[in-house]
Structure 1
Amino acid sequence: MSGAPEFTIEINQNAYIPMGGHEVHAVAHIRASGQPVGVSGGARGAEVIMVDSSGSMDFPSTKLKAAKQATKAAIDTLRDGTLFAVVAGTGMASMVYPFDERLVPADDRTRKEAKREVDKLRARGGTAMGQWLLMARRLLEPHTDAIRHAILLTDGKNESEREQDLQEALDYCEGVFVCDCRGIGLDWRVDEVRKISTALLGDIGLVKEPADLAADFTRMMENAMGKSVADVALRVRTISNARVKYIKQTYPVIDDLTARRSETGPNAGDYPTGSWGGESKHYHVCLEVEPDEVNPHGRRRPCQISVVLPDGAGGIELAKAGVFAEWTDDEELSTRINQEVAKVTGREKLANAVKEGLQARKDGDEDTATARLVQALELANEAGDEHTARLIGRVVEVEADGTSRLRNNDEAEMELDVESHKTARVGPPGA
């Protein structure tokens, strides 16, 4: 695996469990020492840029103009030899460059030709993101030896196909490529686009100002160019009387992976982590473990966590570490919470409070919305998360006497919804 990063795993966990307890919490810090952006090595890149070209992109016209500039900036960021294509998304998907359904290597000629075709884009028709994704899959699927990545830009709701159509497209695309998503303006649905980014292990972002889109596309493409190994899995093996209750990615974004387990053997399952370069990702693993009746105070290893590159039946193990359990009747020991576990669980509570508060407001339950968002504000302040606290403060106002009320700010609600699942703003756990 020439050019692939080296992986390490550091486990932070609550060391002791009270007698009769069953839950073991651990945070796995996984780090990959990769190559800097722009340095060749590892697998070849394969990129598809999906640009919303529906009629709404002309209202105002600055959106389509910005989308063109951003797409051209992303094309300029492609390394020589990277396979790529540009797709126009309306109520269907159509090739912008090249003209037939295939990827072409990036070089001076193809970049110039692609940018010339992007300039010809016109806004028309509806929005069917499932069709865009299926086109991206057809383009990327043959290139199994490449780091397969896509960018999806939209400004509206997925009104030209059924919700079931989008879900079926996602099921078909899952595991084939990673997709980063961006919404421009305030007329798109965060839950709809997040469904795409979550299923395809990508990022989601709100671009408030069209003028900021080119810089954002450049950053996304630079990040994609820094990847050097694809389809990495987190493998969790448990002993016979232990099981995984849940597993969540907690950095750089919060994402529940529990339902995405694929069985790989007795008491072993893989969870997808996407493509890697030089970066860190962190995971919260919660186990349910039955105490040992013969040796109730003994220290045991109910779980082994490893980073695996799937390859045939067993895969290639890149790093591994153990999770341990020790029962005690010493209350001081059993109530001692590991600092990293506390940070992670606190951040999860914060994200849940924001999610429930925003949903309650959409449902017209302003009392619940206010209570949950005030709770989220308190959690953000306790965690020292000034960025999230500032976003929440634009949605709910707390007076000096403790009274609170919701503000009317659609843009702030959308930004809070997008940003609340991200943890990069406050730095990685352990920093």
Structure 2
Amino acid sequence: MNSPAENGVSVDVDQNEFLAEGTRTMDAVVTVQTSDELAVAAPPQQRVEILIIDCSGSMGGREKFPNARTATLAALDVMPDGTHFAIVKGTDTATVVYPTQGASAVANRESRAAARRALDKLKPDGGTAIGTWLGVSRMIAQKHPGAMVHAILLTDGKNEHETAERLAEEIRASEGLFTCDCRGVGSDWEPEELRAIASALHGTVDIVKTADLLAKDFAAMMESSMEKTIPELKLRVWTPVGARIVFLKQVAPAIENLTARRVETAPQIGEYPLGAWGADERDYHIKIDIDPLAPGGKKLAARISVFTDADPLAQGLVKAEWTTDTDLSAPISRGVAHYTGQAELAQVVQEGLAARKAGDNATATQKLQRAMHLAHESGNDNTAKLLRGVVDVDDAGTVRLRAHVDPSDEIALNVRSSKTARVRPEDRGKGDA
């Protein structure tokens, strides 16, 4: 079922609607695409950018902190005039170092120069309490109701000066108030901590291996933020009585499980927040448990609508028809098969790295061998390349753990393993028996 882009949004459903007799699970891949026209036509919103810079003692030295300061200025340079911004110093506490009065400053030549002077006064000292940084950022966001608020968070270390429970509380309290892209510089930070923040706050997480690369990355994140002009899209999913959503996952451009984010709005209707959008395309895998009908019976398994705060912009239908004809029910949608493999790839990478960290080399080898196979099979060349930083592969394709692994290569594989290779457009709707 395809929904044309009449409102600048299109919905495409990739599925095999035929189910074998007695089968009660239906899979579909839903592609949501927004056009340039919709992004440009979106009502103007006040924009707020928060730059959260780790100023703990570990950032000292000739590389990290000077480059973090340069990166902050690079982000300010690409920020359009008129954008509101604030700079937060993060240690075992958090302080807004610019502006010193008011919730934010307005970007112009004078405020950028003042921000530069404030940055010049900073010196790395103290510990790391990332939840506190989020708390101060949340207070800034709350002083700009209705604005699109985006943060960039940089750290080089672990969250050592507050409990994991405190960080989790601050993440939960920040959901829906601002988005946050997280970056770890070097290899002494904890990927799971930044992944939890980025996941909940609709952002990205990545490693910056060396501090001299920070400026380019900060500028790119700021440019990407400015391209997002639609404050929030949501998926609204209706299912018939007796049906339930087993899971709903974003599967491209990266895997993100949205199942637990469902908000019940009416009987048989749930909504899933998708974060801010520009001109964009994302894929979602939905699995539905549905009461089967007799062969020949047809049923609407789900109605999926895309909307903002107003009326639905587009919708797609997931259909089910039961049959005794295996030629009809056996083929699997290429999209469903592809993204099932991509999800397994991300999972076995994480399991392999966890086994390696625990010293279980046999399990680590088995998992990473499977990951390499899946990466090649699905055309995910980026993950295959990252795997080669952790394992050696001989001419026969046999994987062996490397005796010595650069910690930054291991972290890169960890945080980037959820990025997927898209199913090719020409393969959408095709099936394999």
Specify if TM > 0.5.
yes
Q: 1:228 to 1:38 in 2, by over 3 A?
A: closer
Equivalent in the alignment of 1:369: 364
1:430, distance to aligned residue in structure 2 (A): 2.6
Equivalent in the alignment of 1:32: 34
Matches for 1:142-157 after TM superposition, within 5 Å: 142-157=143-158
Matches for 1:409-420 after TM superposition, within 5 Å: 409=405, 410-420=407-417
Equivalent in the alignment of 1:137: 138
1:39, distance to aligned residue in structure 2 (A): 10
Q: Aligned to 1:328, which of 306, 323, 328?
A: 323
Q: Does 1:193 find its partner at 2:188? A: no
Q: Does 1:253 find its partner at 2:247? A: no
1:358 and 1:18 map into 2 onto residues whose CA distance is: 38
2:8 and 2:85 map into 1 onto residues whose CA distance is: 27
- Asked whether the equivalents of residues 38 and 225 of structure 1 are also in contact (C-alpha less than 8 Å), the reply is no
Q: 1:120 to 1:303 in 2, by over 3 A?
A: same
Letter in 2 for 1:83: H
1:193, distance to aligned residue in structure 2 (A): 0.8
Q: Aligned to 1:392, which of 384, 387, 392?
A: 387
2:286 and 2:99 map into 1 onto residues whose CA distance is: 44
1:115 and 1:40 map into 2 onto residues whose CA distance is: 32
- Asked whether the equivalents of residues 239 and 302 of structure 1 are also in contact (C-alpha less than 8 Å), the reply is yes
1:429 and 1:134 map into 2 onto residues whose CA distance is: 42
Q: Does 1:164 find its partner at 2:161? A: no
Equivalent in the alignment of 2:127: 126
1:45, distance to aligned residue in structure 2 (A): 1.2
Normalising by the residue count of structure 1, what TM-score does the alignment of the two structures yield?
A: 0.93
1:341, distance to aligned residue in structure 2 (A): 1.4
Q: Which moved more, 1:297-306 or 1:18-27?
A: 297-306
Q: Secondary structure at the match of 2:276?
A: strand
**Deviation per residue, 1:350-370 (Å, 9 max, x gap):** 111101111111222111111
2:104 and 2:425 map into 1 onto residues whose CA distance is: 41
Q: 1:275 to 1:146 in 2, by over 3 A?
A: same
Please, which runs of 5 or more residues in structure 1 have no aligned partner? none
Letter in 1 for 2:193: E
Letter in 1 for 2:318: V
Equivalent in the alignment of 1:284: 285
Q: 1:77 to 1:287 in 2, by over 3 A?
A: same
Equivalent in the alignment of 2:104: 103
Equivalent in the alignment of 1:381: 376
Q: Does 1:349 find its partner at 2:344? A: yes
Q: 1:300 to 1:42 in 2, by over 3 A?
A: farther
Q: 1:140 to 1:34 in 2, by over 3 A?
A: farther
Equivalent in the alignment of 2:276: 275
Equivalent in the alignment of 1:303: 302
1:116 and 1:318 map into 2 onto residues whose CA distance is: 46
Q: Secondary structure at the match of 2:275?
A: strand
Q: Secondary structure at the match of 1:223?
A: helix
Q: 1:40 to 1:77 in 2, by over 3 A?
A: farther
1:308, distance to aligned residue in structure 2 (A): 2.0
Superposition RMSD in Å: 1.9
- Asked whether the equivalents of residues 79 and 106 of structure 1 are also in contact (C-alpha less than 8 Å), the reply is yes
**Deviation per residue, 1:163-184 (Å, 9 max, x gap):** 0000000110011111000000
Q: 1:46 to 1:86 in 2, by over 3 A?
A: same
1:14, distance to aligned residue in structure 2 (A): 2.2
Q: 1:108 to 1:52 in 2, by over 3 A?
A: same
- Asked whether the equivalents of residues 37 and 223 of structure 1 are also in contact (C-alpha less than 8 Å), the reply is no
- Asked whether the equivalents of residues 80 and 105 of structure 1 are also in contact (C-alpha less than 8 Å), the reply is yes
1:402 and 1:309 map into 2 onto residues whose CA distance is: 48
Q: 1:334 to 1:39 in 2, by over 3 A?
A: closer
2:159 and 2:182 map into 1 onto residues whose CA distance is: 14
Q: 1:271 to 1:37 in 2, by over 3 A?
A: closer
Q: Does 1:89 find its partner at 2:90? A: yes
2:203 and 2:307 map into 1 onto residues whose CA distance is: 20
2:216 and 2:376 map into 1 onto residues whose CA distance is: 30
Please, which runs of 5 or more residues in structure 2 have no aligned partner? 1-6, 427-433
- Asked whether the equivalents of residues 154 and 184 of structure 2 are also in contact (C-alpha less than 8 Å), the reply is yes
**Deviation per residue, 1:99-153 (Å, 9 max, x gap):** 1350222122212211221222210000000000011110012323221111100
2:17 and 2:41 map into 1 onto residues whose CA distance is: 41
Q: Aligned to 2:55, which of 31, 34, 53?
A: 53
**Deviation per residue, 1:298-317 (Å, 9 max, x gap):** 2221211111223xxxx532
Q: Which moved more, 1:391-400 or 1:371-380?
A: 391-400
